[in-house]
Amino acid sequence: MSPIRHCLSLLDFTTPELVGLLQRAGEFRRMRRQGEAHVLLPQKTLGMLFEKASTRTRVSFEAGMAQLGGSALFLSPRDTQLGRGEPVADTARVLSSMVDAIMIRAHEHRTVEIFAEHSAVPVINALTDRFHPCQLLADMQTWLEHRGPIEGRTVAWIGDGNNVCHSYINAAARLGFSLRIATPAGYEPDPGVIEAAGAEVSVLRAPAEAVTGADLVVTDVWTSMGQEDENARRLKDFAGYQVDQTLMNQAAPDALFMHCLPAHRGEEVSAEVIDGPQSVVWDEAENRLHAQKALLEFLIPR
Ligand code: CP
Ligand code: NVA
């Protein structure tokens, strides 16, 4: 039997595997548009464990499994024994004896690692404090559909050096684009993530420096889930890091704008940019569905 594959970060995949997943994601998008049946995971079940809120991730995985002919179970710590202290490792053993894959959105990245260590089925990281690989599959699919291969292009990340930023670092390493990250002091990405990925990354202070000539400009919330207590300080610290039209005008003339959503208009991005012609955020959100179907097909043995 081949070893179980997990998706804890994008580094779990080779470049050809990622390129294949993105291509397949495009096929899933086309099949759905054309109403072509794609019952590829009949009778398979995905367990979905959410320690944090979600709109896109929950709906895309649940709808995706249904469209593939399988089913998905929504589980929250509040309603399971995890919330009453049952160890993660025990939960992983039990759940993985009953379902065909497990998707987890966890506060701590270590939780998904422990799950994977004790799971008999593939484990998918659906966001932790460290990475959000599923988001990057959708973002990279969106780029590919709008502009072709991203290799050799320049991406500017503006704002917090957070979980999504870390996954951009991994994507830069695997897909061969340059990444310029502009953050306020104290909000830089973890240098260990850059080192582990071996990515071509510049960590800068000035948003204008990062966006100059960039092909893609990306941002995310200033306060991620679990950091709500820091919100007032973060609003102050991130002043000057809003992606507005003046900043976008310094990027390449045909630059695209992405944001994983949910967005805060007037904080990390102006309404003019996110609702404007350079923004592809709605395709990006929809592509969560298609990219994750490609991921589920790749990971779940049949
Ligand atoms: N982008 C994203 O992961 O959205 P949700 O938090 O709504 O799942
Ligand atoms: N960085 C954000 C992403 C939400 C999809 C968070 O972790 O809350």
Q: For 87-109, what is each residue's pLDDT tens digit?
A: 999 999 999 999 999 999 999 99
Tokens standing for 208? 């204008």
Question: What is the DSSP secondary structure assignment for residue 188, as one 8-state letter?
Answer: P
Which ligand approaches the C-alpha of residue 165 most closely?
2
260 is catalytic: yes
Determine contact, residues 29/39, Cβ cutoff 8 Å: no
The set of long-range contacts for 262-265, using a CB threshold of 8 Å and a minimum separation of 24, is 262/55, 262/221, 263/221, 264/221, 264/222
Q: Higher model confidence: residue 231 or residue 2?
A: 231
| pLDDT of 255 strictly over 90 | yes
CA distance 12 to 57: 20
User: Ligand 2: distance of its center to the CA of 80 in Å?
Assistant: 23
Instruction: Please tell me the number of the ligand nearest to residue 139's CA.
Output: 1
Atom of ligand 1 nearest to the CA of 134: 3
State the average pLDDT over residues 239-265.
98
- The ligand whose atoms approach the alpha carbon of 126 most closely is 1
- What confidence score (pLDDT) does residue 200 get? 85
Q: Compute, in angstroms, the gap from residue 184 CA to the centroid of ligand 2.
A: 18
Instruction: Determine which one of 260, 283, 290, 292 is catalytic.
Output: 260
Residues forming beta bridges with residue 258, ordered by sequence position: 218
Please tell me the pTM assigned to this model: 0.98
Percent of the chain with pLDDT over 70: 100
Q: Spell 184-218 as b/e; 16+ CB within 10 A means b.
A: beebbbeeebbeebebebebbeebeebbeebbbbb
Q: Whose CA is nearest to atom 6 of ligand 1?
A: 54
> How far, in Å, CA of 165 to CA of 129, rounded?
11
**Distance between Cα 1 and ligand 1 center (Å):** 34
Angle at 165 between CA 164 and CA 169, to 5 degrees: 115
pLDDT of residue 1: 62
Q: What is the mean pLDDT of residues 174-200?
A: 97
The tens digit of pLDDT for each residue in 56-78 reads 999 999 999 999 999 999 999 88
Q: Is 153 a catalytic residue?
A: no
> Residue 254: exposed, middle, or buried by beta-carbon count in 10 A (0-12, 13-18, 19+)?
exposed
Say if residue 157 is exposed, middle or buried (CB neighbours under 10 Å; 0-12, 13-18, 19+). buried
C-alpha 117/C-alpha 104 separation (Å) is 14
DSSP code of 239?
T
Protein fold of 10-131+285-299: Rossmann fold (3.40.50)
User: Start-end ranges of CATH 3.40.50.1370 in the chain?
Assistant: 10-131+285-299, 134-281
What does each C-alpha distance from 184 to 16, 35, 103, 242 come to in angstroms?
35, 46, 32, 12
pLDDT confidence tier of residue 2, bands split at 50, 70 and 90: confident
- CATH, range 134-281: 3.40.50.1370
Is residue 221 in contact with ligand 2, taking CB distance under 6 Å? yes
